[in-house]
Structure 1
Amino acid sequence: MRTALHYYVTLLPSLQYEQSDEVSYVLNITRLPDSCQNSPQLYELMDSQFHINLSLAFYEITVYAKNKAGPSPSSSTLVPLLSAPELEGKLFATVQDGNILLTWSPRFQCDFFIVNWGTNSSKMETKTFMEKMENVTLTGDFENMKKYTIMIHLYPEYCECDEFTNENTFGITYNYAEESVPIAAPGSIVIKNITKESAHISWEEIQEENCLGFLVGYVIHYKDILQNTTLY
């Protein structure tokens, strides 16, 4: 199963100077948050492409060019999180007394692992565990109606802190400390292909930030206008 991702970093055109022996690129990769005090990692390159293995943690990539006269302005970007990655482990998060109980399957052999959780890349918490465990309890001031991303990362080769390029993501899950009802309605309802027996109905999905919880579906009500009777 895939537990690490392979990235090709292509430098932005605004940073691509005419290639020469006097021009190089400096690539700065920072893990968010830094879990093993080994971030950022700096690479000086002569090419405008770079291949690197990264886990599913959040990373910020900054790059600038330099020549004998000095450095250029820099450009930065965040490595996007895949929506449905294929991972070895399954995580299960449940809310208990204001905390989040995290369990997983299958068990992993390492007695060293890292848990990250938060609502976005700039609000990720990190905690390191140095013993074999079957579950952990995440504590803190969890925001209600905010979707939390929760991940477990391993360093399977040595089962201890190492460069983040050797980090693998075991599993990922999502949870809300407390859910509420959506605060927005589906938009742009369109009805077409109407016949005596059917019609095709479509609408714009509610944006995630307006769901305030896991959206389980949509309910459609329709009625006979002539008889003023709700059919469903």
Structure 2
Amino acid sequence: MNYAIITGASRGLGEAIAEQLMDQQVSILSLSRTSNEALKQRAKEKGVSFYHVACDLSEAEDTERAVARASEIVFRPDTDYIYLVNNAGVVEPIETVGQLDPDSVSKHIRINVTAPMVLTNHFLKEANSRSIQMGIINITSGAAEKTIHGWSVYSSSKAALNKFTETLALEQKDRTHTIISFSPGVMDTEMQDDIRSSSKDAFADVEKFKKLKEEGGLRSPEEVAAVLMKLLGDKSIENGKVYRLYDLI
């Protein structure tokens, strides 16, 4: 049996990845605040399992509880392979330094950085102890490598995630796991709604993102997920690397 643990699978890119992994006969475990009935129905149609473990990744105790429950589900005697897709993320707070809300910053880091580290640490330890191969995919952003007005927190969190991925790959070089970061570019998701609702004082490039939406410059999550699926099937994939959508299409 193959399983995929996907954070934020209830919508957007996480949902699209779950759908396309189901097409490959992979059972899905969704870690998110809300479930997705469409995914549950799709799993029935594809003859795979779908589990939802409710979890608020900004809360440490809730995350620990959910991780323990997820382990009970996916680590079975017949488990062959486990994907971990650290997809859940937030872009807020979009604000200039000096105007940032400390609580918002802390919540952001817990979701975008701490949660992927904690989940990877737990599931990798379990997988290694049982000699189960993993595919670890950390969803990053081009913002990790750019200086963007109003995005100091988001850019920093994604840069941290990239370095975590690179270090993890180095530490696991003697094993056969797949460990990458994947940068999906700009997609037509709710995160883009948050970005476009920013004020120009908080985010100087807000009009650029509004124009992308108006001119149809946003890719669908389904299109992006298809590129990721093709990448994961490439035997020459390089561990620790940041793969960017625009380099793959």
Range class of TM-score, shorter chain: under 0.3
Larger radius of gyration: 1
Q: Which has the higher contact order (CA 8 A, sep 6+)?
A: 2
Name whichever structure is richer in strand by fraction: 1
Name whichever structure is richer in helix by fraction: 2
TM-score normalised by the chain length of structure 2: 0.22
